[in-house]
Amino acid sequence: MNKYLVESIGTFFLVFTVGMCVIKPDVGNFAPLAIGSALMVMVYAGGHISGGHYNPAVTLAVWLRGKCATAEVPGYMAAQVAGGVLAAVAALYLKGNPEATPGDLKIVPSLLAEFLGTFALCWVVLNTATAKATGGNSNYGLAIGFTVMVMAFAVGGISGGAFNPAVAIGVTVMHLVKGANLWIHLVADFAGGAAAAMAFKALSSEDRAG
């Protein structure tokens, strides 16, 4: 139960930061820095309890890698989505529930951008937080948060830069993404997480045994 609560809390503050930085009035070009920093500090805060996933795509990647029990996967993902939805409601309340016009997404570019961003995030998570060769390092949170920041700067203007199904659901609740486009994020993000896990298992021979 503690793991699920930590996952919900961490995802809440990640999605809350997204909402507070992106809903008008926003913080402009500083949003990716704030969002990446929020993920970094939440990973450091809760990583020792739950692993600090805060992202269903990361949970999928860690499970495929063999570092998350199958029985825990539904609980992790449910807690993450619940935290994201609650954060969206809180951000809307504090922003005065403003009118928002969701931007249109081009399907193929958005799918590719979300896939690449999520692949990068999950690849970094697996290699800095689960690999034997990097075990015990103190840099994993910084690396993970900076990956989100970098990819948000790189392709956020194309897909919105969710790289996280819980974030995608949260920004949909906040009317920043059209509900009809949510599938783009879900498909690309889960595919990116799965691909990162497969790449990790193929390239990290000493970790294949678990």
Task: Please report, to the nearest 10 degrees, the dihedral formed by the alpha carbons of residues 16, 17, 18, 23 taken in order.
Answer: 80
How many percent of the chain have pLDDT more than 90?
90
Average pLDDT over residues 180-184: 97
Spatial separation of the C-alpha atoms in residues 86 and 81, rounded to whole Å: 9
Whole-prediction pTM: 0.96
* Superfamily holding 2-207: Glycerol uptake facilitator protein. (1.20.1080.10)
165: pLDDT strictly greater than 90: yes
- Region 32-43 average pLDDT: 98
Sketch the domain layout of the chain as residue ranges: 2-207
Interacting residues of 76 by C-beta distance below 8 A, sequence separation 6+ = 3, 4, 7, 50, 53, 56, 59, 68
Please state, in angstroms and rounded to a whole number, the distance separating the CA atoms of residues 56 and 71: 14
The pLDDT tens digits for 113-161 are 999 999 999 999 999 999 988 888 999 999 999 999 999 999 999 999 9
Distance between CA atoms of 147 and 100, rounded to whole angstroms? 28
Total number of residues shown for the chain: 210
Local confidence band at 210 (pLDDT 50, 70, 90 cut-offs): low
In the predicted model, is pLDDT for residue 209 greater than 60?
Answer: no
* pLDDT for 78: 98
Instruction: Summarize pLDDT for 55-102 with one digit per residue, the tens.
Output: 999 999 999 999 999 999 999 999 999 999 999 999 999 999 998 888
**Mean of pLDDT over the chain:** 95
pLDDT value, residue 100: 82
* Predicted pLDDT of residue 208: 63
pLDDT class of 104 with cuts at 50, 70, 90: confident
